[in-house]
């Protein structure tokens, strides 16, 4: 795979991961009511996310409510919120920087070394964005797992388990870090240019000595 094709593939993968992370952050299905246990309750399904909680009736009606106060939220929700916001911001800047540094764009063609370095910077931003998404989703999943398995008077079918947004977040983190890694492979070819210049200058130097 050539350098330009590798950059384009990395950019598309990272962009897809950023869009998936945006969707995961907005979805309320970070955790959902569990249907484990003997007495299964299916009349109402509860979902909770970073920004709102929803109740889905068996008739198909869904009612959602935003979280009342930021300060009253649990620590893991506040931390996951902050990490997702940072991830989306880093990914947004990575999108802009990568477009400038990619070989398939016309910006900065007169200096290919600097252009390659800009592409690497965009890749680093994408990798950091993916790490923030991974940390946010994993932290939330760890808390859900802890609350599900800890000893409590709450029955199992009234507890929460993983929601679909967590799996979307894990996939988004993987795509973003993969795309960022491919962009980071666009290292400046300064040494290679020096070798080419040396080879081109050798014949002229030999002619002068003759």
In this structure, is residue 207 part of a structural domain? no
Q: Is 162 helix (H, G, I), strand (E, B) or coil?
A: strand
For residues 122 and 119, give the distance between their C-alpha atoms in angstroms, rounded to a whole number: 5
At 163, which CATH number? Answer: 1.20.140.150
In terms of Cα–Cα distance, which of 158, 160, 125, 145 is closest to 47? 160
- Dump pLDDT digits (tens) for 120-138: 899 999 999 999 999 999 9
- Mean pLDDT along residues 67-79: 83
In this structure, is residue 179 part of a structural domain? yes
In this structure, is residue 145 part of a structural domain? yes
Integer angstrom CA distances of residue 2 from 88, 104, 190: 29, 12, 17
Region class of 178: left (phi > 0), else alpha (psi between -120 and 50), else beta: alpha
In this structure, is residue 35 part of a structural domain? no
In this structure, is residue 118 part of a structural domain? yes
- Range of 91's domain? 3-27+73-187
In this prediction, residue 108 carries a pLDDT of 59
In this structure, is residue 56 part of a structural domain? no
In this structure, is residue 39 part of a structural domain? no
Mean pLDDT, all residues of the chain: 80
In the chain, the number of structural domains is: 1
Which tokens belong to 135? 């940390």
In this structure, is residue 13 part of a structural domain? yes
* Residues ≥6 apart with Cβ < 8 Å to 169: 20, 21, 24, 25, 133, 134, 136, 137
- Dump pLDDT digits (tens) for 138-159: 999 999 888 887 766 565 666 7
- Dump pLDDT digits (tens) for 17-66: 999 999 999 998 898 887 655 555 556 778 888 998 888 877 777 888 88
Sign of the dihedral through C-alpha 104, 109, 112, 114:
negative
């Amino acid at each position: 795979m050539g350098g330009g094709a590798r950059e384009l593939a990395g950019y598309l993968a990272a962009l897809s991961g950023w869009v998936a992370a945006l969707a995961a952050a907005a979805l309320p299905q970070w955790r959902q009511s569990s249907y484990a246990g003997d007495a299964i309750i299916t009349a109402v399904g509860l979902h909770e996310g970073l920004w709102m909680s929803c109740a889905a009736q068996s008739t198909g009606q869904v009612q959602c409510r935003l979280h009342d106060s930021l300060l009253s939220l649990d620590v893991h929700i506040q931390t996951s919120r902050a990490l997702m916001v940072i991830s989306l911001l880093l990914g947004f800047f990575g999108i802009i920087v990568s477009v400038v540094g990619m070989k398939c764009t016309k910006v900065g063609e007169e200096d290919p070394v600097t252009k390659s370095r800009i592409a690497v910077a965009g890749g680093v931003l994408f990798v950091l964005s993916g790490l923030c998404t991974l940390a946010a989703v994993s932290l939330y999943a760890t808390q859900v797992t802890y609350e599900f398995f800890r000893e409590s008077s709450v029955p199992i079918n009234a507890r929460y388990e993983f929601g679909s947004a967590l799996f979307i977040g894990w996939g988004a983190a993987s795509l973003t870090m993969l795309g960022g890694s491919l962009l980071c492979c666009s290292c400046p070819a300064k040494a290679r240019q020096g070798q080419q210049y040396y080879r081109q200058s050798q014949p002229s130097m030999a002619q002068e000595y003759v």
